[in-house]
Amino acid sequence: MTDEAPETIVPSADNASLVQRFLFALAEEDFDTVESLAAPELVWQNVGLPSIRGRRRIMGLLRRGEGKVGFAVTFHRIAADGDTVLTERTDAIIIGPLRLQFWVCGAFELRDGQITLWRDYFDLLDCLVKAPLRALAGTVIPALRPRF
């Protein structure tokens, strides 16, 4: 028996912080930070939709939305085990006055301080039907506007 703590405690905490920095930087449109935290071989999977492969392609897509499509995130839970980080969060996609807000469970894999996999699970019905309906209602009745 030993009094030493497992070696993965600090790296796991660092990895959880790295994922939070990544998503908060995305929300702030700090694309230089987003890019620095993404591995060249990054794969972005929104389960149920086609995967996007490669940091260059993903960054091109994200940068094209700058100033047009906003993003916000709030974390409910985050857990890390080695190079894997799991998140339970609410994301918001903001297009003009519309705020599409929905629950997301994310799985991230990291290597050498960079994200190699960004996989998000969400309810397509909630994202593509319910969230837009809530957003439209919020534009007419501000008290119904989705917010964190």
**For 37-92, how does the pLDDT look when each residue is reduced to its tens digit (9 = 90+)?**
999 999 999 999 999 999 999 999 999 999 999 999 999 999 999 999 999 999 99
The single residue of 83, 91, 123, 126 carrying the catalytic annotation is 91
Pick the CATH number of 9-89+104-122 from 3.40.50.720, 3.40.50.300, 3.10.20.90, 3.10.450.50: 3.10.450.50
The rounded distance, in Å, linking the Cα atoms of 29 and 12 is: 26
The single residue of 32, 81, 112, 120 carrying the catalytic annotation is 120
pLDDT on residue 6: 46
| Confidence check: pLDDT of 133 > 60 | yes
Q: Of 82, 95, 77, 78, nearest to 146 (Cα)?
A: 95
pLDDT on residue 51: 97
Does 134 or 20 have the greater pLDDT score? 20
**For 98-121, how does the pLDDT look when each residue is reduced to its tens digit (9 = 90+)?**
888 889 999 999 999 999 999 999
What residue ranges do the domains of the chain occupy?
Answer: 9-89+104-122
| Confidence check: pLDDT of 5 > 70 | no
Residue with tokens 């699970």: 121
Active site residue 81: no
Most distant CA pair in the chain: distance in Å? 64
Query: What does residue 129 show for φ and ψ, rounded to 5 degrees?
Result: -120, -60
Does 9 or 53 have the greater pLDDT score? 53
Residue 45 forms beta bridges with which residues? 119
Active site residue 120: yes
